[in-house]
Amino acid sequence: MSALSTLGPQAVLLVLAGAGLIFALSLAGFVLAGDRRRFGARIDRARGRIDAAPAARGGSLSGVLARLGEAVAASVLVGRDEAARMALMLAAAGLGHPRALAGFVGLKSLLAVLGLGLAHLWLHGRAVPPGLVAALGVYTAAALAGWRGPDLLVARRRKRRLEAIDRGMPDALDLLVICGEAGLGFDVAVARVAREIGHAHPELGQELAKLAAEMRVLPDRAQALSNMAERLPLEGVRSFTGMLAQAIRYGTPLSQALRVISAELRAERMVRFEARAARLPVFITLPMILFILPCVFIVVGGPAVLDALHMMPGVQAGALP
């Protein structure tokens, strides 16, 4: 028996009305997003910037997910603040494609719907149908698991990428100092360092290449530095971009500013290493108490305990080893 069959008529009507409202909003979003996309593609083709080949690829799975994500992101289900947060998270994770946000939201929506379907199958296959509260709880938990699952994966990738960028920042600053002392301009130096450091630190090389491209396009270098600081929420990157913006504004030597930032980042790295080394005795204490100290007590106190048991009155000589 289905879980919905155990509900009252009013509850079933409420569930069906909610599902119909969600379907209508999604359909309207699909239609509006498709119209905007076709209109924009028609304008681009008229200007000669693109051909008809990308439009033919829109029917693939990624295109369907992107259209679904655009519809959901434009609705009240996501909101502008949440969409901005996800865009920053994707940019920090290295997923800065223009349609990455739409595809990501589409994947989250698809997994949420899939979670609802699996929850319905699980509730339908139970011998004893659950009540209304239990069924709604299962549906909610399944939808949230499907919606928040990709966030956990992207957050893990973002953390690893930020750690890799943080490790390579002092080396990149040293290379920038060398390029600046060799007479290269700041834009050319950033592009050269992005190519050279890409072998050892590919993530940092990608970000520096993006910074060099934005400095060539944007009218103000400070805006490009601000965009980099917004994409990468790291203390070293904030110091780097802030000091460079001040050096560009007030005309101070860039090589001197870069030397100061590099020394600060290396000092901060050493402080972090010392803090991790200071926490090591605390981490060793629990394994030592559980595995090492019992063995020491047995070896040291075992013979004394056996001798004491032999000397106790009423204990036969052959009863103990």
Supply 205's token pair. 């090389």
DSSP structure class, residue 218: S
Categorize the per-residue pLDDT at 50 as very low, low, confident or very high, splitting at 50, 70 and 90: very low
Q: Residues, the chain, total?
A: 321
Q: Which helix (H) or strand (E) holds 23?
A: helix 9-47
- Judge whether residue 35 has pLDDT over 80: no
- What is the tens place of the pLDDT at every residue in 10-20? 554 555 556 55
Confidence category of residue 48, pLDDT binned at 50, 70, 90: very low
Q: What is the pLDDT of residue 25?
A: 57
Give tens-digit pLDDT for 214-272.
888 888 888 888 888 888 888 888 888 888 888 778 777 777 777 888 788 888 888 88
Integer CA distances (angstroms), 191 to 117, 186, 207, in order: 50, 9, 10
End-to-end CA separation in angstroms for the chain:
67
The candidate with the shortest Cα–Cα distance to 50, out of 58, 2, 246, 61, is 58
The pLDDT value given to residue 62: 67
Q: How far is 134 from 123, CA to CA, in rounded Å?
A: 10
Q: Work out the mean pLDDT of the chain and round it to a whole number.
A: 77
Task: Break the chain into its structural domains and give their ranges.
Answer: 4-162, 164-268, 272-321
What pLDDT is recorded for position 160? 92
- Give the model confidence (pLDDT) of 84-123 as tens digits: 888 888 888 888 777 888 888 888 888 888 888 888 888 8
What's the rounded mean pLDDT across residues 277-300? 86
Average pLDDT over residues 294-317: 79
Tens-digit pLDDT profile for residues 131-140: 777 888 888 8
Band (297; pLDDT cuts 50, 70, 90): confident
